[in-house]
Amino acid sequence: MNIIFVVGASRSGTTMLNRVLGSHHEILGLNELHYFGDLVGQRLDASLSEQEAVGIASRLLSRQDRGIWAENVTEKDAAVAKEVVTGIEGDRTPASVFTGCVKWLAEHGGKTHVSEQTPRNVYYLAGLIEHIPNVRILHLVRDPRSVVASQKNRWRRKKLGGSAMPWREVFRVWINYHPFTMARLWLRAEEAGHPFGSRTDCYRKLVFEELISQPEKCVREICNFVDVAFESQMLEVPMVGSSQRSDKGVKGFSTDALHGWESVLSQTEIWLIQRVTRKAMEKYGYVPKAVGPGLGLLYFFAIFPLHLGGMLLANPKRLLIQLKGIMFSKGG
């Protein structure tokens, strides 16, 4: 069984690609589980007691069954978690618990492969490649201006079709937005794949714009990489989850997503994003727009401390991740 991780900067199209994979009759498309770095630490080989392993497995199963915002663990979750942990051969670790859970889900769903879509797993590639058997990494890269534009309006998802989104999450994604922070996080996610470019056996970088413009060609190549036969229904992906428009039941790939950023971002935001990500944009052929910083730069500079303070209130753990992205990427 191959375990596929779809990773990249948040709002790069990871959910869409996971739906494409999940439409294949052999692949179980998992929810965005936020298992690594959230339910468990960054050490995938850390030793776990049986009680710890069952607790973590229970929460993973809960998130898969009822979504990322599910906080309650049911008796069924706990019973399956106990079964999974008991069946682990060798050491109980975050990696073996994850592998045991997704294998159980695949077997009981009649599938032979699984695909997981948490974008943030891009930061744990070394551990995933080392400790997850038969791993395949699909790393999506999208124009940073499109990514930041989607992040800017992401808080609107609740009224555009994401009704299950709690109000606390609406507040978190609203306060989380700042063009400088988002651009630096895009850069860090892009850089995270650099050490693995030669690992063609298990790692592949994809460009979102190529996937949208040439879907059949790209999906066929993806199928070959993850060892499944291409199926035509994979091209009928539901067009949902946009931060720009309501979910309307439309299927397929739309090139409308390629240039929407021009009507969403201000000239200051575009200038700032291009300034931060300039070298990486050149590598992917993203053409910069001729704009200046304008007086809006003073506004974004002034609100930056409020942005960080709001993030601290909304989610202290996520603030740490954001700060690492701001401080430790090499720069564009």
Q: How many CB atoms lie within 10 A of CB 259?
A: 12
Which of 187, 129, 186, 219 has the alpha carbon at shortest distance from 331?
187
CA–CA separation, 46 and 95 (whole Å): 9
List pLDDT tens digits, range 52-105.
999 999 999 999 999 887 778 999 999 999 999 999 999 999 999 999 999 999
Every domain of the chain and the residues it spans: 3-143+195-246
Where b means 16+ CB within 10 Å and e means fewer, 131-145 reads bbeebbbbbbbbbbb
pTM of the shown model: 0.88
Name which of 78-92, 125-139, 164-178, 253-267 the model is least confident about: 164-178
The residue-averaged pLDDT of 221-240 equals: 92
Homologous superfamily, domain 3-143+195-246: P-loop containing nucleotide triphosphate hydrolases (3.40.50.300)
* Residue-level pLDDT at 85: 98
What span, in angstroms and rounded, lies between the C-alpha atoms of 105 and 285? 40
Look at residue 299 and tell me whether its pLDDT is greater than 70.
yes
Model confidence pLDDT, tens digit, residues 200-212: 999 999 999 999 9
